[in-house]
Structure 1
Amino acid sequence: MTDIEFPEMRENILSAVRALSDAEYQERVWIRREYPRVGYFDDFTLNLNIIFDGTLVLEDPALALGKILRPQEEVTVMMDLVERIDLVLKAEGPDRSDAEYMRSPH
């Protein structure tokens, strides 16, 4: 992945997107707290923090092109993800549990 300026950040983004898109994983890890190994932790908030705060990709996905995202289609997908996360947070509020977010129709 030599065409990406920050490959470690890219892997963090990919991991977060995988977690956000996998309902079975969310139920097992976020709700039942069945972690794959000792010292492991993951939840909805952590993944949002990775994407929004840790890499700033969702703040402006277009600026991440070539640095963290490739190709242009990933920018489009991340823009869609921003809209969906904003919808959920506006509808449900910022202080719900992971289970409540997962049950949301949004």
Structure 2
Amino acid sequence: MSQAEVQFPEMRERIISAVRHLSDPQYQQKVWLNKEYPHDGYYDDFTLTFNSLQDTAVLDDTTAAIGITLTSSAEAVPMQHLADRLDNIIDTVGGQAPDSVFLTSPLWDSVVDAAQRALEALTR
């Protein structure tokens, strides 16, 4: 199944963008912490990125997202791993913590690693 064969390709693009941001520590430092945005009117932070994934429901049930926003179990499995890492850090740090607390948590590297693997699968 190709990207064109998912029901909601625009939602898929939002997922890929969010996962890309979660996978890139340099982006997180520059945009989320230093507030250095690429252009006027741009805004992003961890909460917005996480909410973007929540809004697509891909984190709730990655297997159910196959055919909707994901193409196969080869994408659903690493996305489930990312969902688990995100749940873990939010449960540990607290959902209202500032981005700096998430990014300095000992659990953050596992989020970045899971996002990198998910991004690889999504862009293969």
Amino acid aligned to 2:30: R
What is the correspondence of 1:3-82 to structure 2 with a 5 Å cutoff?
3-52=5-54, 54-82=55-83
Amino acid aligned to 1:27: Q
Question: What is the TM-score with the length of structure 1 in the denominator?
Answer: 0.95
Deviations 1:24-67 (A, max 9, x none): 00000000000000000000000110101x21110111111011
Q: How many angstroms apart in 2 are the aligned matches of 1:2 and 1:28? A: 32
Question: Structure 2: where are the runs of 5+ without partners?
Answer: 108-124
Once the 2 structures are TM-superposed, how far is the Cα of residue 95 of structure 1 from its aligned partner?
1.4
Greater relative CO (CA pairs within 8 A, separation 6+): 2
In structure 1, the partner of 2:104 is 103
Q: How many angstroms apart in 1 are the aligned matches of 2:101 and 2:72? A: 34
Once the 2 structures are TM-superposed, how far is the Cα of residue 2 of structure 1 from its aligned partner?
2.4
Q: How many angstroms apart in 2 are the aligned matches of 1:91 and 1:99? A: 14
Once the 2 structures are TM-superposed, how far is the Cα of residue 73 of structure 1 from its aligned partner?
1.1
Once the 2 structures are TM-superposed, how far is the Cα of residue 78 of structure 1 from its aligned partner?
1.0
Identity over the aligned pairs, expressed in percent? 43
Q: How many angstroms apart in 2 are the aligned matches of 1:14 and 1:59? A: 16
Q: How many angstroms apart in 2 are the aligned matches of 1:73 and 1:103? A: 30
Question: What is the TM-score with the length of structure 2 in the denominator?
Answer: 0.82
Q: How many angstroms apart in 2 are the aligned matches of 1:89 and 1:4? A: 29
Once the 2 structures are TM-superposed, how far is the Cα of residue 71 of structure 1 from its aligned partner?
2.3
Alignment root-mean-square deviation, CA: 0.8
Once the 2 structures are TM-superposed, how far is the Cα of residue 90 of structure 1 from its aligned partner?
1.2
1:93 aligns with 2:86: no
What SS does the aligned partner of 1:9 have?
Answer: helix
